[in-house]
Structure 1
Amino acid sequence: MIRVASYNMRKAIGTDRRRRPERTLDVLNELDADVIALQEADRRFGSRASALPFRLIDEHSDYKPVPLDTRAGSIGWHGNALLVRKKVEVLDRILVHLPSLEPRGAVMADVRIDGIDLRVVGMHLDLSGLWRRRQATAILDHLDARPGDPPRVMMGDLNEWSVRGGCLREFAAHHHFAECGRSFHARRPIVQLDRIMVSEDLRVVASGAHHSAAARKASDHLPIWADLAPAA
């Protein structure tokens, strides 16, 4: 069994408007996932440094960031980052440029977890429905162009309020969705903006949104998770 998770951590600023990276890390530790896709992982202004200090991640969790070779001090690419357990082997990673009016990107990594290879994509899509669909197509094209064909996991904040339409149609062509439930707003979730999508060679054993007391305060989004196994 492999657990994956996705979390729009809002730059470690909670619903109390306080920046508390320790609280964000508490939520990540609660998830106990093998791979976590983060959105809004870097500060927005200045040097765009990681909102989670590297030392804090190293000393107070079992995670390590997937190295993305971006700017010094940053954990992500346009706010997107991937964390994996320290024992997980990172085989490859790339930055995915997305079409948009404002800078947007996605991150992709091939990882090996207990002998199982996965191709993982983390994303934070546009507020515009037209650009979301274009970005979904760009991500799928990048996946198809990569060598090899390991099982795929795509996750992140899709900003899609539709239940089945919009960019969900593009992703659903060859992937299925984990039923994680509503994740926004964290205090009173009313919509599924955050999604986990997997290729047909994976099955979702269990999934959900993480509703701990810490998660309800640490961001305006709840983290979502899914337990995966190879399809029969």
Structure 2
Amino acid sequence: MVVIRALKADVVVLQEADKRLPPRPAALPHDLVAKKGFKNIDFGQPKGSLGFHGNAMLVRSSVEILDASGLELPGLEPRGAIRADLRTAIGDIRVIGVHLGLIRRYRLMQLGAVARALRRLPEMPTLIAGDFNEWGSKAALDAVTPEFDFVSTGHTFPAPRPIAGLDGFAHTNGLTIHNHGVLTRIPARVASDHLPIWAELNRTTPSSL
């Protein structure tokens, strides 16, 4: 929680928030989350778990949760995504949390599944945040989801000496990322094998003709 508080974020997306083996208890105590001023969003996860397929989302009390759900993703290994529609200081936005597969073929399938799920929902400016597990350029991910613009935030893995930018953001029209970065100071380098990333968002409105 020290690292999470250092981000000073209104919305926090986590991966591997639960232990791997059933019944998948939370790796971060629920009472500590509440004590530090956050709400954990319910995505229909098993009792005791913090997230859905290990993905979790924490929000400040000032953020209103409009709707939330988990999404099963295709692939060789069990994967899922989380989706929350939120009322924030910049307006209503949709946040997707992902932890994509280790094999590119499945990563592309998983992003495609996310894109199709979003098309069935009312339009809302959307941010995807998480571990894309993409060691190289995000061009291949861009190709499968042209409605999202991917943002490279710098190297995040492995945390002690990062050489790869596995973690990142992508956004739709209606949102802009005007500032972003990687949190590198202690204890971020020892709290996880990935360094945390952050972004500051703005809502944009279509220009009138």
Q: Normalising TM by the smaller chain, what interval? A: over 0.9
The whole-number CA distance in structure 1 between the counterparts of 2:37 and 2:30 is 12
Aligned residues: 205
Q: CA deviation at 1:67?
A: 1.1
Highest RCO, 1 vs 2 (Cα 8 Å, sep ≥ 6): 1
Q: Secondary structure of the residue that 1:51 maps to in structure 2?
A: coil
| Shift >4 Å, 4+ stretches | none
Q: Do the aligned partners of 1:179 and 1:208 also contact (CA within 8 Å) in 2?
A: no
Matched, 1:155 2:140: no
Q: Do the aligned partners of 2:66 and 2:86 also contact (CA within 8 Å) in 1?
A: yes
Q: Do the aligned partners of 1:178 and 1:226 also contact (CA within 8 Å) in 2?
A: no
Q: Which of 67, 73, 86 is the equivalent residue of 1:111?
A: 86
Q: CA deviation at 1:167?
A: 2.6
The whole-number CA distance in structure 2 between the counterparts of 1:94 and 1:46 is 21
Identity between Structure 1 and Structure 2 (%) = 40
1:78 counterpart residue number? 53
Q: State how 1:187-226 maps to structure 2 within 5 Å.
A: 187-226=160-199
Q: CA deviation at 1:115?
A: 6.1
CA RMSD, Structure 1 to Structure 2 (Å): 1.3
Gaps of 5+ in 1: 1-24
2:16 counterpart residue number? 40
Deviation sequence 1:23-73 (CA, Å, 0-9, x none) = xx10000011111111000011132011011111111x1211111222110
Q: Secondary structure of the residue that 1:75 maps to in structure 2?
A: coil
Q: Secondary structure of the residue that 1:27 maps to in structure 2?
A: helix
Q: State how 1:48-127 maps to structure 2 within 5 Å.
A: 48-59=24-35, 61-114=36-89, 116-127=91-102
Q: Secondary structure of the residue that 1:90 maps to in structure 2?
A: strand
**What is the TM-score when the length of structure 2 is the normalising length?**
0.94
The whole-number CA distance in structure 2 between the counterparts of 1:226 and 1:198 is 11
Write the letter of the residue equivalent to 2:68. R
**What is the TM-score when the length of structure 1 is the normalising length?**
0.85
Gaps of 5+ in 2: none
Q: Do the aligned partners of 1:160 and 1:166 also contact (CA within 8 Å) in 2?
A: no
Q: Secondary structure of the residue that 1:134 maps to in structure 2?
A: helix
Q: Do the aligned partners of 2:142 and 2:148 also contact (CA within 8 Å) in 1?
A: no
Q: Secondary structure of the residue that 1:117 maps to in structure 2?
A: strand
